[in-house]
Amino acid sequence: MANVTLMALQARGKVRRFIEAKLLSEDTEALLAQRKGECNRCGACCKILFRCPFLGTDAGGHYTCKIYEHRFEQCRLFPLHARDLLELEEQCSYTFEAEEATAAAPLAAPPFAK
Ligand code: SF4
């Protein structure tokens, strides 16, 4: 059975990020500066609520974005807040120093957890 609480959180997050990307498109540098780390290409953010149809894999088996150069603004900005990480079913390699306490762990276990 699907985790309804997580799905509701993800749906709200998708709408929020879409709106934020439209409204904050010129004012995100300060928020991005609070983000620490680098993307490890786990693909978790491309599977929030549903698997993005543009998510692919390269010859080495790493996730890639088929439209990376033209990807949506909300994808380029993910994660913009620590609360974005709460929607993931895997661990994102980005962290937020100021907000870490609220984003300690994803709500659901990774789908391939042993
Ligand atoms: S969840 Fe985080 S580490 Fe994984 S692909 Fe998205 S931004 Fe990169």
Residue 14 has pLDDT above 90, yes or no: yes
More confident residue, 75 or 25: 75
* Residues flanking ligand 1, CB < 6 Å: 39-45, 78, 88, 92-94
pTM of the prediction? 0.80
Q: What is the pLDDT of residues 20-71, one digit of tens each?
A: 998 876 678 888 899 999 999 999 999 999 999 999 999 999 999 999 999 9
75 CA distance to ligand 1 middle (Å): 10
The mean per-residue pLDDT over the stretch 7-26 comes to 91
* Test site for ligand 1: of 35, 39, 80, most ligand atoms within 8 A of the Cβ: 39
CA distances from 41 to 1, 7, 23, 29 (A): 27, 22, 26, 21
The mean per-residue pLDDT over the stretch 71-75 comes to 95
* Test site for ligand 1: of 71, 78, 96, most ligand atoms within 8 A of the Cβ: 78
Closest listed residue to residue 83, CA positions, set 66, 100, 60, 61 = 100
Pairing of the two strands 95-96 and 35-36: antiparallel
Mean pLDDT score of the chain? 86
State the pLDDT at residue 27.
78
